[in-house]
Homo-oligomer: A and B are copies of this chain.
C-alpha cells in the first residue's frame, strides 16, 4: 500500500509552524511497512487543496489529509474533498446531534459555528475524535482510501493510530498487531552499540531491532508483528533478554522511564535521601531530580558551589587550587552529605567550556557517596558547553544508579 500525506494550512507555507505531522505520520507508516512516495503541503485555498487531493488520489492507494477541518471559514478541506471527488457537501442532522452531544458531555453548549463540522462529502464516514471537537472523515474514491484528520498534533496522532492505520492495513490485507519495546541505554557510544548489536539489527526481521540516538541516550527499539498482542510479546522477550545481556549496566530503563525517575525509584525503595553538590552543571542535576513529581519524598536539595570558595567554605574541600579533580569531587560529595543531612550525595565538577578550566573542555569528574562508600570517576564528554553540561547530568545520575545497585566502577 502506497500512502500519501497532504498537510493543509497557510501557516505551514509561511513557516510559522513546522510540518511535524508529516514526520509523525511518515514514521507511523514506515513502522507498519506502508510505503510513502510523496508529501504535499498546500495553503487554505479551495482550488489548490482540491488539486492536491486529486493528484494524490491518482497515484496513491491511501491519502491522509491533515488540517483544515475545524469550524472556521478558513477550514475548507471538506469542500476541497467534495471538489476533488465530485461529491456533494451534505448535512447530517445525526452528526450535528453527535457534535452537540460531545460538547454537552463536557458541560458546555456547542458554539453554533461548530455545526459546520456536520457537513461532509456525501458518503463519508465521520471518525470520532475523543481528543477534540473536529471529527475525522473517511471515504473511498476510485479505489483509494481518503482520510481527513485534524492538524492539532495530539488529535492527529490519536486518529492516525486508532482509525487511519488500522483501516489502511485492513484494506491491504494485513491484520497483524505491532508491539514495540524500547530499551534505554546510557554511557556506550553509538558506534559501540551498533557493533555490539550488529547481528540483531541486520539479522532479525520480526522482531525488528532498531536504534535511535538522541541527546547522548541510545534507545533500542524491538518491534514484533504477530496475530495478537501476546504472540508479539513472546517474540520480543528473547531478543530483549539478549540485548540486556549484551549491553549490561548501560540499560537503565524501558519505554517511558527517564533516568531521573529510575534513580528516584531506587532511592525510595532503599529508603535513602539524596542531595547534590554541583559546580559545572550549576544546578542541572538537582533540577533533573526535582523535575519528577513527588521527588520531595527523597530529594532534600543541593548546593551549587560554582565559585571555589564555596567548595571550601561549605563543602570542606581542602585544596581548591585544582577543582577538576578526583579528590575535590569526592570531598564535595562527602561535604554535601554533611551539609544537607542526606544518605547519598552526587557531585559534579569539570570544564564545560568554551574556554578550558584547568583541564581540557569536556573533562568532568563525578563522585557518588553512599552510606557504604565514596568514589569518583573522570569522564571526557564531547560537544559544546550546553552539551557537556547536559551529558554530565545524565552521567551523574547513571553513576548514582550504579552505586545504589552496588555496581561500583573501577577508577
CB pair A293 B27 closer than 8 Å:
no
Is the C-beta of A218 less than 8 angstroms from some C-beta in chain B? no
Q: Interface-forming stretch among A42-50, A110-118, A402-410?
A: A42-50
Q: Assuming the A-B contacts A22-B15, A36-B13, A304-B304, are A309 and B341 also in contact, with contact meaning beta carbons closer than 8 angstroms in the complex?
A: yes
Give A289 to B282 CA distance when docked, in angstroms: 8
From the candidates B282, B303, B313, name the one contacting A291 in the complex (CB within 8 A).
B282
Within 8 Å CB of A300, what residues of B? 306-307, 309-310
CB contacts under 8 Å to B, within A120-145, are: none
Q: Assuming the A-B contacts A296-B307, A307-B301, are A15 and B23 also in contact, with contact meaning beta carbons closer than 8 angstroms in the complex?
A: yes
Is the C-beta of A290 less than 8 angstroms from some C-beta in chain B? yes
CB pair B306 A301 closer than 8 Å:
yes
CB contacts under 8 Å to B, within A326-382, are: 339-341, 353-355
CB contacts under 8 Å to B, within A140-159, are: none
Within 8 Å CB of A24, what residues of B? 15
Q: How far is the CB of A301 from chain B (nearest CB, A)?
A: 4
From the candidates B26, B43, B52, name the one contacting A15 in the complex (CB within 8 A).
B26
Instruction: Mark interface residues in A283-311 (1 if CB within 8 Å of B CB, else 0).
Output: 11111011101011001111111110110
Give A285 to B302 CA distance when docked, in angstroms: 13
CB pair B304 A301 closer than 8 Å:
yes
Is the C-beta of A278 less than 8 angstroms from some C-beta in chain B? yes
Copies in the complex: 2
Within 8 Å CB of A89, what residues of B? none
Instruction: Mark interface residues in A16-29 (1 if CB within 8 Å of B CB, else 0).
Output: 11111011111111
CB pair A43 B48 closer than 8 Å:
no
Q: How far is the CB of A389 from chain B (nearest CB, A)?
A: 7
Is the C-beta of A104 less than 8 angstroms from some C-beta in chain B? no
Within 8 Å CB of A20, what residues of B? 18
Within 8 Å CB of A43, what residues of B? 36-37
Within 8 Å CB of A291, what residues of B? 282, 385-386, 389
Give A283 to B301 CA distance when docked, in angstroms: 9
Give A287 to B279 CA distance when docked, in angstroms: 10
Give A314 to B26 CA distance when docked, in angstroms: 54
Q: How far is the CB of A336 from chain B (nearest CB, A)?
A: 11
Q: Assuming the A-B contacts A15-B22, A282-B286, A283-B283, are A41 and B38 also in contact, with contact meaning beta carbons closer than 8 angstroms in the complex?
A: yes
CB pair A283 B293 closer than 8 Å:
no
The chain B residue with its CB closest to the CB of A289 is: B282
CB contacts under 8 Å to B, within A54-88, are: none
CB contacts under 8 Å to B, within A259-278, are: 276, 278
Q: How far is the CB of A326 from chain B (nearest CB, A)?
A: 21
The chain B residue with its CB closest to the CB of A386 is: B291
Give A48 to B296 CA distance when docked, in angstroms: 57
From the candidates B23, B52, B282, B353, name the one contacting A18 in the complex (CB within 8 A).
B23
Within 8 Å CB of A296, what residues of B? 306-307
The 5 residue pairs across chains A and B that have the minimum distance between CB atoms: A283-B283, A282-B290, A15-B27, A15-B26, A39-B41
| Residue contacts A-B, CB under 8 angstroms, 9 given | A12-B22, A13-B37, A15-B26, A18-B19, A36-B43, A37-B42, A283-B287, A301-B310, A310-B341
Interface residues of A (CB under 8 A from B): 12-20, 22-30, 36-43, 45, 48, 52, 276, 278, 281-287, 289-291, 293, 295-296, 299-307, 309-310, 313-314, 339-341, 353-355, 385-386, 389
